[in-house]
Every structure is written in structure tokens, then in C-alpha cells.
Structure 1
């Protein structure tokens, strides 16, 4: 299916946030609770030097559940992007989905094409940044990330699981233990 991106010229690494960039302490929304994984900045420097855009795609059901606000999320996101900039890494875009069909409250309680495993965040970023999806990479730590990438037409999918002792090929993604390892495997 042509997603209208045949003339796209850029390629990107789509990165989930919690569990890939930072330790997932559960609904992280404060700077004091945000803990970057070792090797994240170095991995992103390699990505950028190879000419890939970096796009963060993150479900944020904590907003929809009322645990924190979009403003709090945006403040943390601005701080996080600044930390990357201080390491010489530009984050091209951050896409997030605050909706949750079952546990959302108010207008956040809805089905949304952007909530992973749906591909909406990736498709929107691809349109905004002229990204060729089949030449891009997705790194996530949940099956919903893998399905979002596959549903968007991303062919290089890396599933991060800190408990993996070895790299394993799956039906349609590669299992690894960190973003840094995913980047190393992709560029080898």
C-alpha cells in the first residue's frame, strides 16, 4: 500500500522513550525521575553522523489517565531534548499519544490512530519530515512498538529487552538489550 511517501528522501531512527532512552520507572514525568540509559547519547551521535533523523514516538497514557498533564510532559520533553543538544544530537521531532481507549478520562478516553501499535505517530512524522519509512529503523521495548513500526512499513525493527542475554532474530524484528546494541547491529 502506497502511503504517499514514495518521494521521501530522509530516513530516520524512530525511538520509543521509556525503556529505550530512559529507565522506565512507570509514568515518568518529572526531571528528577528521568534516568538516561548508559550509551544513549553515543548511540544517537552515531545515528546522526550516519545521516538519520531522530524521532521519538511515545505513548503517554499517563496524561490520559490524569497522572500528569500535557504541560508537564512538554516541560520534561524540552529538558530531554536540551540534554541531547548538549551532547551534539538534534532530535528532529517528538510525537506522543496521550489517549487510552479504556483508562483515559474525559476527551483522552478514545481510540486513536496514533497510539501504538497503530502507526499514526510514525506516519505523521514521516509526512512532516519527508521520511522514507522503508529505509528507516524503529527501536522499542514493547510488542506494540514493533507492530507500529511494521504497520507503518518500517523494515528494520529492534526490540530492546534488558533481560536478553543474546541477540536473536524473531519473525520480523531483532531482539537486543539496548539502543546502543541496536545501533551497532544495524550499522555492522
Structure 2
């Protein structure tokens, strides 16, 4: 019998953690990396952890932009990270909102944080060691999602993300 080896993961919230939260961001031209964000992802990669992004994107449900815009921004982020030798293993986003003006996105789903769905979906798709994994978020709903998924939750407010991650990895 073959055993699949698991490894820990860092789940990054996007807006307010990897980049400045400017509200309903979908254009690369308005994207501003947080200090140390790209280095933080590289540190996670070098430590042998999976690096994931889990982000609510209700701007889709509100009609501000399309899912293709979210995907294009994530491809741009991946290229930017690649340029510094870093990578995200998977980007997950939830376009839904329970009060969405666009009917097909008007739903209450456990994939929308504070629900744990994006995290648990990733843990089903990848061999994640949940007991050694953690989420970095800037809002209470991020931390609630992590706790509901059974992983450690860390609050990042500001400062240098690489410094924050370096400390968090020592705890891991």
C-alpha cells in the first residue's frame, strides 16, 4: 500500500494580506503588493509548504467585474511571483453573495468566508497536513473560516508580510 505524504500549507487571504485592500480590486494597474508579500510566498515555498490563496470576491456577484477578471488578476499575480522565484499552488475565490443583484451568484455558500469551504476544498484536492497548516487573514471572517476548517488562524494587520511569515513558520 502506498502512502501519500502530506505537507503543511499556508492559506493567504488576498486583499489586505498579499495586497493593499483598495476595495473590489480586479485590475493589475490598481494592484499594490503588501511590503514583503512576494518574499513571504517564496519563504512558504522554500519551507516546503503549499501556498494557497483563498479570497471572497463578491464584486462578481455585485456586477462590478467578471470571474474572468478575477482569473486574469490571479494569472498576473502568478507571473509577478514567478519573477521572484515564488508560486501559489492554487488560487480559490468565492464570487457569491447572499444578497447579490446578479441571480446566479445570489446564494449562501460555505465557500464564502467565514465558511470554511474554500479551505476544505483545497485540503481535499491536495495532501495537506492540517495540524501543521495555518491561514493568514486580516479580517475576523478569515480567522473564523480557518478555525471552522480545523487549522490555525493568524491575524495580519500591517507591516512586512515576510517578517510575519518568518515568525509564523517558526511556530509551525
Return 5+ residue gaps in structure 2 as ranges: none
Q: Determine the structure 2 residue equivalent to 1:26.
A: 23
Q: Determine the structure 1 residue equivalent to 2:156.
A: 160
Q: Determine the structure 2 residue equivalent to 1:119.
A: 116
Aligned length: 167
Kindly report which structure 2 residues correspond to 1:126-165, keeping only aligned pairs within 5 A, or say none. 126-155=123-152, 157-162=153-158
C-alpha deviation, 1:110, in angstroms: 0.4
TM-score by length of 2: 0.92
Q: Determine the structure 2 residue equivalent to 1:182.
A: 164
- Structure 1 runs of 4+ aligned residues shifted over 3 Å read none
Deviation track 1:11-34 (CA, whole Å, cap 9, x = no partner) reads 110000000000110000001001
SS at match of 2:122: helix
Distance in 2 (CA, whole Å) between partners of 1:36 and 1:9 is 30
Q: Does structure 2 retain, via aligned residues, the 8 Å contact 1:139–1:179?
A: no
Q: Does structure 2 retain, via aligned residues, the 8 Å contact 1:11–1:132?
A: yes
Deviation track 1:40-91 (CA, whole Å, cap 9, x = no partner) reads 1111111111110100000000001110000111111111111111111121
Q: Does structure 1 retain, via aligned residues, the 8 Å contact 2:41–2:88?
A: no
Return 5+ residue gaps in structure 1 as ranges: 1-6, 163-176
Q: Determine the structure 1 residue equivalent to 2:92.
A: 95
Q: Does structure 2 retain, via aligned residues, the 8 Å contact 1:27–1:62?
A: yes
Deviation track 1:81-112 (CA, whole Å, cap 9, x = no partner) reads 11111111121000000000023421101001
SS at match of 1:115: coil
